[in-house]
Structure 1
Amino acid sequence: MCNSNVKSAGVAQIAGRPVLQPAGNRVAATEVARPLKKSLQKSLSMPASYDNAAAAPAAAAPKNTGAGDFARAAAAAPYLLPPTPAKAAGARAVPSVGAEKSRKAPKKAGAVLPVVTFAALEAFEVAGPAGSIAAAQREHVTQAQAQRKSRIAHYGRTASFSRVEGRVGATATATATAAAPGAAPVVATLEEKRCSFITAYSDPVYVAYHDEEWGLPVHDDELLFEMLTLSGVQVGADWASILRRRHIYREAFSGFDVEAVAKYTEKQMASVSAGFGLDLGTIRGAVNNAWRILEVRRDFGSFGKYVWGFVNHKPLSPGYKYSRKIPVKTSKSESISKDMVRRGFRFVGPTVLHSFMQAVGLTNDHLVSCPRHRVCSTSSSSSSDAA
């Protein structure tokens, strides 16, 4: 039964009939919507891709203020605003947890925070254009991975510059020979057939030394003395730098005249060291070796006969196919080094002696594919026949 004494009760009209209900359930009168602030209008602004599509209906619609503007903005950008369920008449509005937090949080004057929900983000991803930022990033990563795989796949498969140039030179030589069979053969430098340590970037002085001197048999005492001195100086340096200063050594040691160098006094050695910028220890070692060569001459007749006697006056020919197989010293260089050290020579270690043997033709260490290998072998056979 209804208690008529309840003072808080009131009468409301529902479907044309008066209904008794508590005063707290009364529906407040609908407030007139206020126009949107400029900051909220900016937050609800549409992307550039939708400006042209929304410009025509926006211009055709009649101007209005209040709730109409907000409704049109929500209809134009549905992916920014979550759908709002319709309120049943007489139902109490239950505030959400996020709304309570937003009420408690202090708000700055003039700041308007846009409402973004997961539904809005999901709708934006679905309605977004095909060329979005995420798609562009995925495409960029895919292309970068493909380029990296292609670079890794070609590691070590590119022909070196020297081999390519050599093949071009060989083709040009063969073409010139075929075009003029009666003409003299053209001598071409075939980069691919030279010793592999001679490349397109090698010093021209070193290349000329390889093509003209290295490996040719030498029997002259002065030239043997020169190559022995240069081989000792070359330790810790490269042949190209020594060959560029070769004229300085020749002038400092009187053209490598054994008898003239053997007569150098301590004062002359100091003068040569200061005048030519050479190490004093190197000069003293060369003078000492000149004395020992004079002693060898008295025992063997010449320094050349003494040196070539270790190989039975015939150069060694190991026949290397690859430069990495060429050793820095051999058992033969070790035996020659021991005998020369016993005789009082200086700067004649096994490595220095092996370099000396290569330079004067005691061993033909040109690769078998190098044209100089055959030239040095022919020169050594002719010199041995003459001896």
Structure 2
Amino acid sequence: MCNSNVKSAGVAQIAGRPVLQPAGNRVAATEVARPLKKSLQKSLSMPASYDNAAAAPAAAAPKNTGAGDFARAAAAAPYLLPPTPAKAAGARAVPSVGAEKNRKAPKKAGAVLPVVTFAALEAFEVAGPAGSIAAAQREHVTQAQAQRKSRIAHYGRTASFSRVEGRVGATATATAAAAGAAPVVAALDEKRCSFITAYSDPVYVAYHDEEWGLPVHDDELLFEMLTLSGVQVGADWASILRRRHIYREAFSGFDVEAVAKYTEKQMASVSAGFGLDLGTIRGAVNNACRILEVRRDFGSFGKYVWGFVNHKPLSPGYKYSRKIPVKTSKSESISKDMVRRGFRFVGPTVLHSFMQAVGLTNDHLVSCPRHRVCSSSSSSSDAA
């Protein structure tokens, strides 16, 4: 018994016949896919023309699996994946099932879907689009490699100092000529010792080019250089050389016999008149007396000091100024003997400076032109 007034009942078409059945048994109609909301379209930055043209095919397309879903995702957000051709990636594009069916449908403007493969995705991840972080990193690495190659190509190539040294030599020559001294002889095309720089005092440069390292055998000059070497401790040679005329006048031109006769009153007068330290004056007077004793034993002070090097200057042949020591075993042995004889201000460092000044050792660098001049001077003196 069926009551047609029952509200829960409904009529359905089954096999072409109307059949009365409860409302809960009715089959729900298939929901038509709704297009995206305008707010979502704006967030995805999709052109409006593309949305209207692609809404209908997207709603009517059958449900696919695998590559078809991937193609629809690429079509929904085309800005995420660049249209990389399959030939550039080195792989053949495989069309999806949905794309194979949609190929028969007429194509509308603005509805072209890009075909994206896994090989293209891999190539995109490796290369990266222009302006991405990967591209910036590649550019940075390329620039770093170019800079490294440039440094390797120009390694060790520094500007020559011959022009600077030429200016220093010209300045020293002009200074010496103005003072009435002999002109400075310097080879402008060759490098001096590295401790002679563009900022060196012209007086010191002239001393390096004229006197330093030349063999000396005269007792008065040996006495002068021994005194100046002792005074130079704690000061620089340039300041001592600028006051050289004061020392010569104070010690009577470094006459050994005259200085040895100085009395205590004369030493005090010299100290007050020339502004010299009284201890320095007393040491010089004491050394003059000791030189007179050496003369009685060896004939001259020059024979005494040159006997330690067998009357032939030492030639270590240094290539770098940092290799030149402040004292040597030879200067220590000479210092010990002179201290035993009663000399003052004759430590190993002072004696090594004295040996360099009077040519007992040729400490000019082998690249300095004065090295050959001093060597030839010693050879000529030995032959004489």
Shorter-normalised TM range: 0.5 to 0.7
Give the direction of change, closer, same or farther, for the CA distance of 1:297–1:11 in structure 2 (3 Å limit).
farther
Most deviating of 108-117 and 131-140 = 108-117
Give the direction of change, closer, same or farther, for the CA distance of 1:19–1:73 in structure 2 (3 Å limit).
farther
Question: Alpha-carbon deviations, 1:28-83, whole Å to 9, x = none?
Answer: 99999999999999999999999999999999999999999999999999999999
Most deviating of 96-105 and 213-222 = 96-105
Give the direction of change, closer, same or farther, for the CA distance of 1:74–1:117 in structure 2 (3 Å limit).
closer
Deviation of 1:194 (Å): 0.9
Give the direction of change, closer, same or farther, for the CA distance of 1:148–1:258 in structure 2 (3 Å limit).
same
Deviation of 1:9 (Å): 42
- Equivalence map 1:343-354=2 (5 Å): 343-354=341-352
- Equivalence map 1:58-207=2 (5 Å): 159=159, 189-190=187-188, 192-207=190-205
Deviation of 1:200 (Å): 1.8
Q: Tell me which residue corresponds to 2:382.
A: 385
Most deviating of 295-304 and 57-66 = 57-66
Question: Alpha-carbon deviations, 1:310-342, whole Å to 9, x = none?
Answer: 000010111111111111111000000000000
**Identity, % of aligned pairs?**
99
What SS is found at the alignment partner of 1:353? helix
- How far apart, in 1, do the equivalents of 2:89 and 2:154 lie? 75
- How far apart, in 2, do the equivalents of 1:137 and 1:89 lie? 21
Question: TM-score if structure 2 supplies the norm length?
Answer: 0.55
Question: Alpha-carbon deviations, 1:247-281, whole Å to 9, x = none?
Answer: 00000000000000000011110100010000001
What SS is found at the alignment partner of 1:87? helix
Contact 1:80–1:120 (CA under 8 A) maintained in structure 2: no
Most deviating of 322-331 and 6-15 = 6-15
Contact 2:204–2:237 (CA under 8 A) maintained in structure 1: yes
Deviation of 1:369 (Å): 1.1
Give the direction of change, closer, same or farther, for the CA distance of 1:27–1:332 in structure 2 (3 Å limit).
same
Contact 2:67–2:96 (CA under 8 A) maintained in structure 1: no
- How far apart, in 2, do the equivalents of 1:106 and 1:130 lie? 34
Give the direction of change, closer, same or farther, for the CA distance of 1:267–1:110 in structure 2 (3 Å limit).
farther
Most deviating of 80-89 and 217-226 = 80-89
Contiguous gaps of at least 5 residues in structure 2: none
- How far apart, in 2, do the equivalents of 1:151 and 1:133 lie? 27
Deviation of 1:131 (Å): 19
Question: Alpha-carbon deviations, 1:172-195, whole Å to 9, x = none?
Answer: 999999999999999763275211
Deviation of 1:376 (Å): 0.7
Deviation of 1:381 (Å): 3.8
Question: Alpha-carbon deviations, 1:190-226, whole Å to 9, x = none?
Answer: 2752111111221111111111111111000000000
Most deviating of 128-137 and 80-89 = 80-89
Note the aligned Cα RMSD (angstroms). 12.8
Q: Tell me which residue corresponds to 2:14.
A: 14
Give the direction of change, closer, same or farther, for the CA distance of 1:111–1:204 in structure 2 (3 Å limit).
farther
What SS is found at the alignment partner of 2:88? coil
What SS is found at the alignment partner of 1:251? helix
- How far apart, in 1, do the equivalents of 2:313 and 2:209 lie? 18
Deviation of 1:307 (Å): 0.3
Total equivalences in the alignment: 384
Give the direction of change, closer, same or farther, for the CA distance of 1:188–1:224 in structure 2 (3 Å limit).
closer
Q: Tell me which residue corresponds to 2:277.
A: 279
Contact 1:25–1:92 (CA under 8 A) maintained in structure 2: no
- How far apart, in 2, do the equivalents of 1:186 and 1:209 lie? 9
Give the direction of change, closer, same or farther, for the CA distance of 1:92–1:65 in structure 2 (3 Å limit).
closer
Indicate whether 1:261 and 2:226 are aligned.
no
Deviation of 1:350 (Å): 0.5
Give the direction of change, closer, same or farther, for the CA distance of 1:95–1:63 in structure 2 (3 Å limit).
closer
Contact 1:258–1:294 (CA under 8 A) maintained in structure 2: yes
Contact 1:216–1:380 (CA under 8 A) maintained in structure 2: yes
Deviation of 1:108 (Å): 63
Give the direction of change, closer, same or farther, for the CA distance of 1:52–1:89 in structure 2 (3 Å limit).
closer
- How far apart, in 2, do the equivalents of 1:89 and 1:221 lie? 92
Give the direction of change, closer, same or farther, for the CA distance of 1:292–1:166 in structure 2 (3 Å limit).
same
- How far apart, in 1, do the equivalents of 2:117 and 2:93 lie? 20
Give the direction of change, closer, same or farther, for the CA distance of 1:90–1:244 in structure 2 (3 Å limit).
closer
Most deviating of 123-132 and 154-163 = 123-132
Give the direction of change, closer, same or farther, for the CA distance of 1:227–1:38 in structure 2 (3 Å limit).
farther
Contact 2:214–2:359 (CA under 8 A) maintained in structure 1: yes
Deviation of 1:292 (Å): 0.4
Most deviating of 195-204 and 341-350 = 195-204
Most deviating of 317-326 and 144-153 = 144-153
What SS is found at the alignment partner of 1:12? strand
- How far apart, in 2, do the equivalents of 1:184 and 1:249 lie? 21
Deviation of 1:158 (Å): 5.9
- How far apart, in 1, do the equivalents of 2:227 and 2:193 lie? 25
Question: TM-score if structure 1 supplies the norm length?
Answer: 0.54
Most deviating of 176-185 and 3-12 = 3-12
Give the direction of change, closer, same or farther, for the CA distance of 1:86–1:199 in structure 2 (3 Å limit).
closer
Give the direction of change, closer, same or farther, for the CA distance of 1:65–1:384 in structure 2 (3 Å limit).
closer
- How far apart, in 2, do the equivalents of 1:213 and 1:137 lie? 62
